[in-house]
Amino acid sequence: MQWNKINNITNFVLQFNGTEKFIRAPAGNGPVTYTVSSLTAGNKYTFTLFSMFENVRSSGVQYEAATVPKNAEDFRSSNQDESSITLQWNKINNSTSFVLQFNGTETNISAPDGDGPVTYTVTSLTAGTRYTFTLFYVFENIRNSQGQLSAVTAPRNAEGLTKSGQDESSITLQWNKINNSTNFVLQFNGRETFIRAPDGDGPVIHTISSLAAGTRYSFSLFSVFENVRSSGVQLTAVTVPENAKGFRASEQDDSRITLRWNKVGSNINFVLQFNGTETFIGAPDVYGPVTYTVTSLTPRTNYTFTLFSVFENVRSSGVSIFAATGPNYVFGLDLKLELLEQMTKSEMEDALIELLRENNLPPHITLKIISSKP
């Protein structure tokens, strides 16, 4: 506190909080200055000052003053989205209010009723941007020194997330780049992959490998700015199914050819393509090979058949064979085979067809095993 000196023989008594302090008249000219210490932050005090000459006091003057409130405690960001940041700090009492300063503006915030922290949400912000906030505690129009905090808004989600390609063991995803400071996290199968924002313009391309053929996968893509994630976007995509194995003609006559192949999986269908037409063939319920008979064919004619495995409208690369309609010529082979393991007729046919093809079997020959007892 400060007041004007009277003369060199007039002293002073400062009275506050039930105590009195004797203050001798200072030498020289100029005002009298006295500091009252060990006070409580953010508190109002009433001081009474008496002039004193030879133990006789004046009537006294009164003055009220407040100490500066203490600095902000536990000032932090508790939440954020693309356009807002929620701030939180500790309340002192019902008489201490606050001033929040950011972007050249000030906002007065009253002390809330009840206990617990103070929460305030700053809105209309720009996504993926860093902001600096300054918080003042205010008591009787007196501000504390300040508390500062930097916080960021969540980045916006990536746009244009799509599947740009796939094969039996990989899926390639593509999405639009946001800027050079926004990275990405791709989440699938309980795993997360960090993807840095690429240099230059153009889309971001990422290939996920080592996948299972003919399988559905769900992907979640998050934009990331300074460790803060966006809400995320989702995409479901499938890998290409495997081609059917053992595709061949098993029987034919003048107007029909019966085709057969091994089942790929319980949820894998097929498309048979020949003569410019396509036929959809559903996955059979039973175990074992799939058979399909093509009818109304022309005798003594060569046909090319292409078989595609299909999973959720995604086709395999396809496998092709040649087969011809009859008349058929039948010849017999008397073979003695030693089997290392038990095989079905179907498995034996597949093995023998492969063996004969390796030995230049004409492409239109079909094979059927007829067992007989010795």
Find the CATH number of the domain harbouring 170: 2.60.40.10
Residue 285 to residue 279: CA distance in whole angstroms: 18
Q: In which region does residue 18 sit, left (phi positive, over 0), alpha (psi from -120 to 50) or beta (all else)?
A: left
* Residue 157 placed within a domain: no
Please tell me the total count of domains within the chain.
4
Q: pLDDT at position 129, please? A: 95
* Residue 210 placed within a domain: yes
Which structure tokens are listed for 103?
A: 């972007």
Residues 252 and 231 in one domain: no
Residues 288 and 333 in one domain: yes
pLDDT, the chain, mean: 88
Residues 117 and 216 in one domain: no
Residues 287 and 340 in one domain: yes
Residues 41 and 135 in one domain: no
Domain that holds residue 211: 162-238
315's CB contacts (< 8 A; 6+ apart) are 240, 241, 271, 308, 309
pLDDT at 372 over 80: no
pLDDT at 289 over 80: yes
* Residue 260 placed within a domain: yes
pLDDT at 72 over 70: no
Question: What is the number of other CB atoms lying within 10 angstroms of the CB of residue 360?
Answer: 7
User: What pairs with residue 125 in β-bridges?
Assistant: none
* Residue 87 placed within a domain: yes
**Residue 25: φ, ψ to 5°:** -65, 125
Residues 128 and 215 in one domain: no
Cα-based angle 225, 230, 234 (whole degrees, multiple of 5)? 130
Residues 326 and 293 in one domain: yes
Q: pLDDT at position 365, please? A: 61
Q: pLDDT at position 40, please? A: 80
Among candidate residues 238, 269, 301, the one where a domain is terminated: 238
Specify the DSSP element, H or E, that contains 351: helix 345-358
Residues 55 and 82 in one domain: no
pLDDT at 251 over 80: yes
* Residue 372 placed within a domain: no
Residue 101 to residue 313: CA distance in whole angstroms: 57
Residues 255 and 354 in one domain: yes
Q: pLDDT at position 332, please? A: 64
Band of pLDDT at residue 42, cut at 50, 70 and 90 = confident
Q: pLDDT at position 107, please? A: 93
**pLDDT tens-digit series, residues 144-195:** 866 789 999 999 999 999 999 999 999 999 999 999 999 999 999 999 999 9
Band of pLDDT at residue 116, cut at 50, 70 and 90 = confident
Residues 260 and 354 in one domain: yes
Residues 229 and 171 in one domain: yes
* Residue 365 placed within a domain: no
**pLDDT tens-digit series, residues 333-366:** 666 767 777 777 777 777 777 777 676 565 556 6
Residue 312 to residue 240: CA distance in whole angstroms: 9
The H-assigned helical ranges of 7-110 are: none
* Residue 82 placed within a domain: yes
Residues 36 and 8 in one domain: yes
Band of pLDDT at residue 115, cut at 50, 70 and 90 = confident
Q: In which region does residue 231 sit, left (phi positive, over 0), alpha (psi from -120 to 50) or beta (all else)?
A: alpha
Band of pLDDT at residue 214, cut at 50, 70 and 90 = very high
Q: pLDDT at position 330, please? A: 60
List for the chain the helix, strand, coil content (%; round to 5): 5, 45, 50
* Residue 368 placed within a domain: no
Q: Are strands 142-143 and 105-109 parallel, antiparallel or unpaired?
A: unpaired
Among candidate residues 66, 89, 106, the one where a domain is terminated: 66
